Amino acid sequence: MRWVGATAVLDYLQNLALANWVRTSPSIFAYTTVLAVHAVGLAIVVGVNTIIALRLLGVAKGIPLAGLRHLYGTVWFGFWINLASGILLFIAEANAMAAMVAYWAKLALVALGMIVAALLRRCYFDDVASVQAGVVTRVGRNLAIVSLACWYLALIVGRLTGYPDLVAGWLGMGGTGN
């Protein structure tokens, strides 16, 4: 999994002045604030996607389907916050993060969540006739379920990046976890 090129890139990122500052500064505005902001962004992305999915699954039917896609603006707000804070958190510990299966699994789940959101737009929200009629099609409901699965799995797996030894132990990869 490790080849020379990747190691060089990770070392380069981790030795950037910005990465060093995030990792080693005792200032509250370094690692601590970036981590806290990442948690706020997570709550926005997961929480608002939950509202959209729940509505499509029949909860809060009073929310007009025609306007529901406007909630994606807030999802994007949280997404950009987390892309920026996530890049900082990654470069701060590039080697350690890149070595974690949980980290790549989380990124994959986030990417999948975004693809599902795009599919929801194409396959459901752009289906003006159904949306205007207040009908949630089968594809809309199915995608809502997949969306919920992606975001909550991303949250769960993301939290696991804090426990590399535990995960390595579970995967039988010779971690120190019992």
Q: Are 66 and 131 in contact (CB under 8 A)?
A: yes
CA distance 56 to 123: 13
> 104 or 163: whose CB is closer to another protein?
163
| Binders of another protein in range 57-86 (CB under 8 A) | 59-64, 66-67, 70-71, 74
> 68 or 97: whose CB is closer to another protein?
68
Mask: binding to another protein, 141-170, rule CB under 8 A, as x and -? -----------x--xx--xx-xx--x--x-
In the numeric block, which tokens belong to residue 89?
């958190």
| Binders of another protein in range 35-54 (CB under 8 A) | 35-37, 39-40, 42-44, 46-51, 54
27 binds another protein (CB under 8 A): yes
135 binds another protein (CB under 8 A): no
In whole angstroms, how close is the CB of 163 to another protein at the nearest point?
5
Q: Are 155 and 147 in contact (CB under 8 A)?
A: no
In the numeric block, which tokens belong to residue 145?
């379920």
Collapsed DSSP state (helix, strand, coil) of residue 178: coil
CA distance 144 to 64: 16
Q: Among 116, 110, 118, 117, which residue's Cα sits nearest to residue 152?
A: 110
DSSP 118-142: HHHIIIIIT-HHHHHTT---HHHHH
In whole angstroms, how close is the CB of 177 to another protein at the nearest point?
6
105 binds another protein (CB under 8 A): no
CA distance 135 to 45: 25
133 binds another protein (CB under 8 A): no
What are the residues binding another protein (CB under 8 A)?
A: 26-28, 30-32, 35-37, 39-40, 42-44, 46-51, 54, 59-64, 66-67, 70-71, 74, 152, 155-156, 159-160, 162-163, 166, 169, 177-178
